[in-house]
Amino acid sequence: MALIDDVKPRIGVFYSEANKDAEVQGMINTAIEYFKGAGWNISASDTSPTATEAIILFCKMAQSTEIADFTNHPVLISFIAQGRAEVVV
């Protein structure tokens, strides 16, 4: 299952439409770049529960937060710390 399929229902999107799918994919891409900027080497193919939950939380925040008010949420910081500490085998 693709990451977008995990994210959409968790942010309240229960349908598939090209424009909405592009919007959600854009949020996912932005989340990945945000986490990479914080030093967590994350990708769309990363299927770890921590990565998935972090991306979902970022997307939820992006939906309901004005960009000027978007701050580093403590839970996002925690996910970054966990993700950076994970050992990839």
Residue 29, pLDDT score: 95
Dihedral (Cα; 89, 51, 76, 26), 10-degree rounding: 140
Q: What is the pLDDT of residues 4-47, one digit of tens each?
A: 999 999 999 999 999 999 999 999 999 999 999 999 989 888 77
- The answer, yes or no, to whether residue 49 has pLDDT greater than 70, is yes
Dihedral (Cα; 6, 10, 12, 16), 10-degree rounding: 0
